[in-house]
Structure 1
């Protein structure tokens, strides 16, 4: 399979298009390694992960250029992703150190007197990690790092458009781990994933991607555990009392990051009536001033779509919104795989831009009367990954945290904020379970209880 730069069409690399036979062989190797990987001492798990950190730091610019060549990231975004991936592996090493159990007070009940015990976290077994194209290195680190920390072999299936970053990281880690601990499959998910889902030796699937694919995985997974992040339609609320400049800057940055191909993309901005005119003017100017162009140019602020089909889809969504009454304040144009960042207002309530995930650089600006109206509008979607609010009032902030139906509420930053250490996941159609290093490690373990009854003569 050729891996090409989506912007230029230039060949970046070639990988194997693996088949169902390869998938079964990878599972055989991972399953055979299960006991050995589970027995790895904590220091060995940590050493492998920290070796990956060192490798990333030593080759940071090389890896950043690889990310920017095979995918959609600008070189600035790619450099940041390398730093984040190193931090994710470092956090995974710390999670391995912190993987402890708990003692059980058996004597809390009469039949437990003379007994003691503890619960110890044990690896669940083989993990299948499936990653998307938009963060081709750091999201791989978020699958592989916790698996190593937990003592689980992992089979990684990176997106077919961006496998090179994943292969680089797996190679950097694999030399420090037993054979079979890290397997990687390059090719198409429709060919490689079904035989793995049908095999009971796969004990957990960690998937980051789209809702439609997530539904197919859930339907086929049977009793296999699932951790899935399936995207969102994130809303950022800006109240009248908010500081205008930082709110506008953060909303703009969150709207254009990864050209909107980001589950935390600022897709809706809900501004209270008093601040709406000033924010509208600031955002319209900001969107029109975004520098688009070559990903490798450090001055470029927003890169390209993953392919022309995706760019055409985004262009059509903007056009359809204006055809049904929306006003285009900025953007709307497309040049091949490049889309101008688009800001719309007066988008109709049933438009997909307000309900579904765009996965592209389109943002809708909306008006709210008060905090309750803003929250109601923010919650008017079946997704619930993250939401945000800009305000200087503690009552508004606490009201938003309590009432927004999402996995995370960000106060005084946009929805595009994420710390790799924090629990990450959502409500509704945004997925199942939580990622973030510590949460991912917890999902990849299960408690084993030991109960001791002491001899009467002890």
Structure 2
């Protein structure tokens, strides 16, 4: 029987990067069955075995880093510089998961904190106390001779559904902690970028991961939804768009769900900010990888007293960005993932202009490449203000009062990360109190992320947290043991 295959195309020039077998319903069922069966043995492996597998995988990826970077650049259209950065982060992600696999531990729960089991007597001042003079001391000691131990255990088979924009590292944000804590995984990579997941699975197998523990399934949406509904999975972890994420939650049943969804990140630039630093970081955060970051810079709010010099610096830096072939080492901005996405981004720019916004720089499109674009005079109600652009487009507006800037930055249904440039710690802590985001970066932009950080959002940006240790906690359950040693 001939196996159906999907061709994977380069977003930049349309060339065929490779082919990926399209899983049938029987093959999906076999993958789920393998994950269920392998979990029963993998969960019982000593932690040092799991750690050693992950550490070897990190080292093997290090040896194949250029191969991995070239593949990411080809199938995701990511500039080679950024693809190499993703591979470097992935090497760390694996080694950090290995370290966390060794050190994650339970805690002792003190059980002698409440004296309610003992007899109290009323004191003259209306209080109460244990009468130690009359009470049997042995009974008091015996009542305290209990110890509580809370330990974490793997939750069970995990369904991981990954996005296209980080086809290696965001996959590892699901796979590495799941393996570290003792879970098996069925991985559904993004349809545009499955080849990198195959490479990762190959590396983990070479590192010693037992058969059936990681299963890569490239399948149609109906089969993916069937897996989401499947009660043999104990958890679904998804990164992608908000509509898809909340749909997954609605059909997942009683299993645990972790969602890393969209953003509409804002940056506030105060009058006391380092304007050159702020401009450089905003350009990096707004147009890197074609702006296809859920934490990319989308809205910039700058104090009116420094608006002109800041904007001039921003435009100079945008003009200096090299746009083109992602395979070239000096390319800053390559294509977005496909021409349909490019057409959508361009239509949002055009709609904003028709509604009164002004193009400061950029605004053009050629096939799947959208020029780095800065829009001024945008207003709430425009898609470029209210929705997630997921393209190399930023808006810029002024503010007079800091509180108004925080309110406008916060006036979105998303709450992933934000950035604030200021030397005033009072403003930093005020923003922390009033701005509902999962992460606030002071004197940096929202794309700042180190892979062991807790990462996740408020509001419609998702539920749960990633970052190796935090994801391991999401992917495990507590058991509490109480021992009475009287």
C-alpha deviations, 1:326-346, integer Å up to 9, x for none?
000011101101110110010
The TM-score with structure 2 as length reference comes to 0.92
Aligned residues: 454
In the alignment, does 2:251 pair up with 1:220? yes
Deviation at 1:117, TM superposition (A): 2.6
**For residue 318 of structure 2, what is the aligned residue in structure 1?**
287
**For residue 396 of structure 1, what is the aligned residue in structure 2?**
427
**For residue 68 of structure 1, what is the aligned residue in structure 2?**
73
Structure 2: tracts of 5 or more residues without a match: 1-5, 118-142
In the alignment, does 2:192 pair up with 1:187? no
Deviation at 1:54, TM superposition (A): 0.6
* Partner of residue 41 from structure 1, selected from 43, 46, 52: 46
CA RMSD, 1 decimal: 1.2
Deviation at 1:401, TM superposition (A): 1.6
Runs of 4+ in 1 over 6 A off after TM superposition: none
**For residue 262 of structure 1, what is the aligned residue in structure 2?**
293
What are the equivalent positions in structure 2 for 1:24-39 lying under 5 Å apart?
24-39=29-44
In the alignment, does 2:227 pair up with 1:196? yes
**For residue 309 of structure 1, what is the aligned residue in structure 2?**
340
* Partner of residue 172 from structure 2, selected from 137, 141, 153: 141
Deviation at 1:116, TM superposition (A): 2.0
**For residue 58 of structure 2, what is the aligned residue in structure 1?**
53
Deviation at 1:286, TM superposition (A): 2.1
* Partner of residue 206 from structure 1, selected from 233, 237, 240: 237
Q: CA separation in 2, counterparts of 1:34 and 1:75?
A: 37
Q: CA separation in 2, counterparts of 1:340 and 1:354?
A: 18
Rg larger for:
2
State whether residues 72 and 134 of structure 1, in contact with CA within 8 Å, keep that contact through their aligned partners in structure 2: no
Structure 1: tracts of 5 or more residues without a match: none
**For residue 103 of structure 2, what is the aligned residue in structure 1?**
98
Q: CA separation in 2, counterparts of 1:223 and 1:159?
A: 25
**For residue 242 of structure 1, what is the aligned residue in structure 2?**
273
Deviation at 1:89, TM superposition (A): 0.7
Deviation at 1:109, TM superposition (A): 3.9
What are the equivalent positions in structure 2 for 1:97-116 lying under 5 Å apart?
97-109=102-114, 113-116=144-147
State whether residues 289 and 332 of structure 2, in contact with CA within 8 Å, keep that contact through their aligned partners in structure 1: no
State whether residues 417 and 438 of structure 2, in contact with CA within 8 Å, keep that contact through their aligned partners in structure 1: yes
* Partner of residue 325 from structure 1, selected from 345, 356, 360: 356
What are the equivalent positions in structure 2 for 1:271-420 lying under 5 Å apart?
271-420=302-451
Deviation at 1:192, TM superposition (A): 2.6
**For 2:112, what is the secondary structure of its paired residue?**
helix
**For residue 11 of structure 1, what is the aligned residue in structure 2?**
16
**For residue 79 of structure 1, what is the aligned residue in structure 2?**
84
Q: CA separation in 2, counterparts of 1:19 and 1:325?
A: 50
Q: CA separation in 2, counterparts of 1:441 and 1:420?
A: 13
State whether residues 174 and 181 of structure 1, in contact with CA within 8 Å, keep that contact through their aligned partners in structure 2: no
Q: CA separation in 1, counterparts of 2:247 and 2:340?
A: 22
